[in-house]
Structure 1
Amino acid sequence: MAIKSKGITKGNLPEELKKLLRAVASEWGDKIEEMEEGLEVSRLTGAMTNEVYEMKWMSSRSGDEPRKVVVRVYGEGTEIFFNRDDEIRTFECVSKHGRGPRLLGRFSHGRIEEFINAKTLSARDLRDPKISARIASKLREFHNLDMPTPITVVLWDRMRNWLKEAKRLSSPHEMEEFCLEKLDEEIDLLQRELSKDSQPIGFCHNDLQYGNIMMDEDTSSLTLIDYEYASYNPIAYDIANHFCEMAADYHSKTPHILDYTSYPDVEERKRFVSAYLGTSGENDHKEEEVEKLLEDAERYTLANHLFWGLWAIISSHVNKIDFDYFEYAKQRFDQFWLRKSELLVS
């Protein structure tokens, strides 16, 4: 759909999306003509897999707040990364648990979601100790969701599938630059080393960057959104992913640049893990439990770097969103090779 590369505006709404918006407006008792006349379309920044828009119109009912919905237009080639039907099932299940926005409708290239009256967190918010503790608590709740899928670790097979796709798409120069021929054995090594000990498995978000966390400004309650990559995985992997995301600011002038001086220090990580474990109701959890989860999370940063490095290589070939995926991939792989010997002592 060519419209994805230049973006959606009020003047170029796909007919299928128009029809769905009319249906949503009609359900809410709004007059279609008034809705279409007053429709406002704003693109939300920071998304790297899809294009996301806020769409707003005045309610036909006097005194009501304006109607708002979120429209998500799927990025090109994203079917490589996940099964969209599985993702929709996850979305609906999380919504039924009261943990996320409602699905209002689907069209062939995207969907309409409930607008949550909350602000998206910023990169700086992740460093606030109070907010960080709330994120830890919310993540524990998410991990404990009972989802209608087998409790099987998805990480390793997904990485191997992505590696095959990255090799298929890459030029000889890219193959060499990113050492793609070596990565089969690196993934095998990571799986072997990181899976040695018995580890808690939970339903993981797998993409807990600040843009996927919403906070109600009145109650400070949090909602996790965007479950495209969600699956069962070791909880240490999900915590590691969140720590890695603290090096990113996707709303800066160079959103692809990662600042690893911003990676959380030991005290920040320990506070987060302590808050995470404290939400279980077992307030007497031992120091060894905190230290073990901290150590496991640090080791799983290696898997995170390979995971998102491969994602970025594939995205550079299939996605038209304005983001320097190649440079992002380079930084993730650089971190993997830099920290491997330190974290992976066989």
Structure 2
Amino acid sequence: MGAVENSIDREDRIPKEAKEILESLATKWENVADSTALQVIQLKGAMTNEVFQIKWPTSTGEVSRKVLVRIYGEGVGVFFDRDNEIRTFEYMSKNGQGPRLLGRFPNGRIEEFIHARTLSASDLRDPDISALIATKMKEFHDLEMPGPKDVILWGRLRNWLSTAKRLCSPEEANAFQLDSIEKEISILEKELSVPNQRIGFCHNDLQYGNIMIEEESKSITIIDYEYASYNPIAFDIANHFCEMAADYHTDTPHILDYSKYPGLEERKRFVYTYLSSSGNQLSDKEVEQLVQDVENYTLADHLFWGLWGIISEHVNDIDFDYMEYARQRFQQYWRTKPSLLDSVRSSPETRTDGKQKDTPKVLSKQPSFFKKLQKYFSLTKTKA
């Protein structure tokens, strides 16, 4: 996930059970000089797990085979069902959609190393690469996964909210106005669940670090399925657009720059490529409707990753300012909510009976929210 090489050898981070599997794998490869001599390179940019590239010295002097070791982050089981994620991983690899699973140990797994380049933040803005991503995303959404095909977004948001409230101090809960978020989730579920919306198997975390490209063939591979589930496809595209504001490989990986959020023409181009990749004839209305649906689902995405950030601060020891990340996500939610929900309510697609929908009251005024967050963060920084 979002990985680039860090040259520091971290063999001490590889559990004994993982080393045994690695050594067993390496003994089957003819050119490995010493199966116990692991060369461990930590990959930077992961925010849920620790990820390591493993290779070995060879008898012929050539580069040995490489594998990935993924060590699950402490406490991240609150976000997803690990057994479901493994089943998804295995299903995807069997269908040629990702790396093969080479082994499992109690707190992680070993994966095939994909000989492709992980995208960078700037790659998402490259029109050619963006078109490849749009086409691959459509293919991903069309996968027929085993099991129920129920939308899990709203239930997951409520579960995460409950967990965030349990983990937070009263000051944190007050600063993020967590008591009002249940009502916000209900408003979004009511407003965004429009008739005939497209449901598909969504990745739900399509940031640049989870997308790889093979340079010669221009083949795109989507990796890391921890958050994958059936959801409105507009939510998945919204998440991808929101991730364009992030660069997790800077000195301040938690800082979001929403000036990098794609403009209307860029969003239209992505959606047009996505919809047309299946070969169907498109109308302008179809494209415009999905573009608007995607924009509306950015609200759900901000709550999704805002709550993720709050919980991660309490359960994960990876070096990342989760609380500041959460603050920016919630801030963007309150900033964009009034205009986006107004557009939903004025849309003829929001009701099937021709009547005007009831307009829920705005539950929180932006200035008070910003003041609370500003006060909370100034106090925490003073204490630090």
Shorter-chain TM band: over 0.9
Q: Distance in 1 between matches of 2:295 and 2:159?
A: 24
Q: Which amino acid aligns with 1:24?
A: L
Question: Larger deviation: 64-73 or 322-331?
Answer: 64-73
Q: Of the candidates 280, 303, 318, which is equivalent to residue 306 of structure 1?
A: 303
Q: Distance in 2 between matches of 1:226 and 1:59?
A: 29
Shift of 1:15: 1.3
Residue in 2 aligned with 1:88?
86
Indicate yes or no: 2:259 matched with 1:264: no
Q: Distance in 2 between matches of 1:277 and 1:27?
A: 45
Mark the CA change 1:84 to 1:30 in structure 2 (over 3 Å): closer, same or farther: farther
Structure whose alpha-carbon radius of gyration is higher: 2
Shift of 1:198: 1.7
Q: Which amino acid aligns with 2:300?
A: A
TM-score, L = length of structure 2? 0.85
Indicate yes or no: 2:316 matched with 1:319: yes
Question: Larger deviation: 90-99 or 11-20?
Answer: 11-20
Indicate yes or no: 2:279 matched with 1:281: yes
Structure 2: unaligned runs, 5 residues or longer: 1-7, 346-384
Residue aligned with 1:43, SS: strand
5 Å matches for 1:219-230? 219-230=217-228
Q: Distance in 1 between matches of 2:58 and 2:193?
A: 54
Residue aligned with 1:72, SS: strand
Residue in 2 aligned with 1:20?
21
Kept in 2: contact 1:54–1:68 (CA 8 A): yes
Question: Larger deviation: 256-265 or 7-16?
Answer: 7-16
Shift of 1:306: 0.1
Q: Distance in 2 between matches of 1:328 and 1:115?
A: 30
Mark the CA change 1:12 to 1:43 in structure 2 (over 3 Å): closer, same or farther: closer
Indicate yes or no: 2:328 matched with 1:331: yes
Q: Distance in 2 between matches of 1:102 and 1:270?
A: 35
5 Å matches for 1:1-346? 9-11=10-12, 13-29=14-30, 34-37=34-37, 39-59=38-58, 62=60, 65-282=63-280, 284-345=281-342, 346=345
Shift of 1:26: 2.9
Q: Which amino acid aligns with 1:21?
A: L
Question: Larger deviation: 102-111 or 11-20?
Answer: 11-20
Shift of 1:197: 2.1
Q: Which amino acid aligns with 2:279?
A: G
Q: Distance in 1 between matches of 2:12 and 2:114?
A: 25
Q: Distance in 2 between matches of 1:94 and 1:341?
A: 39
Q: Distance in 2 between matches of 1:86 and 1:48?
A: 20
Kept in 2: contact 1:202–1:234 (CA 8 A): yes
Q: Which amino acid aligns with 2:317?
A: K
Structure 1: unaligned runs, 5 residues or longer: 1-6
Taking only the aligned residue pairs, the percentage that are identical comes to 61
Shift of 1:108: 0.5
Q: Which amino acid aligns with 2:264?
A: V
Kept in 1: contact 2:296–2:340 (CA 8 A): yes
Residue aligned with 1:111, SS: strand
Q: Distance in 2 between matches of 1:78 and 1:96?
A: 26
Q: Distance in 2 between matches of 1:266 and 1:305?
A: 19
Shift of 1:27: 3.7
TM-score, L = length of structure 1? 0.94
Shift of 1:23: 2.0
Q: Distance in 2 between matches of 1:279 and 1:11?
A: 46
Q: Distance in 1 between matches of 2:176 and 2:15?
A: 39
Runs of 4+ in structure 1 over 6 Å off: none
Q: Which amino acid aligns with 2:274?
A: Y
Shift of 1:219: 1.3
Residue in 2 aligned with 1:4?
none
Q: Which amino acid aligns with 1:166?
A: A
Q: Which amino acid aligns with 2:314?
A: H
Question: Larger deviation: 90-99 or 13-22?
Answer: 13-22
Shift of 1:18: 1.1
Q: Which amino acid aligns with 2:285?
A: E
Residue aligned with 2:66, SS: strand
Q: Distance in 1 between matches of 2:42 and 2:176?
A: 33
Q: Distance in 2 between matches of 1:16 and 1:117?
A: 25
Shift of 1:36: 1.7
Residue aligned with 2:231, SS: strand
Q: Distance in 2 between matches of 1:59 and 1:186?
A: 57
Kept in 1: contact 2:9–2:39 (CA 8 A): no
Mark the CA change 1:12 to 1:47 in structure 2 (over 3 Å): closer, same or farther: closer
Shift of 1:128: 0.3
Q: Distance in 2 between matches of 1:40 and 1:122?
A: 25
Q: Distance in 1 between matches of 2:219 and 2:20?
A: 34
Question: Larger deviation: 65-74 or 11-20?
Answer: 11-20
Q: Distance in 2 between matches of 1:245 and 1:96?
A: 28
Residue aligned with 1:142, SS: helix
Residue in 2 aligned with 1:3?
none
Q: Which amino acid aligns with 1:50?
A: N
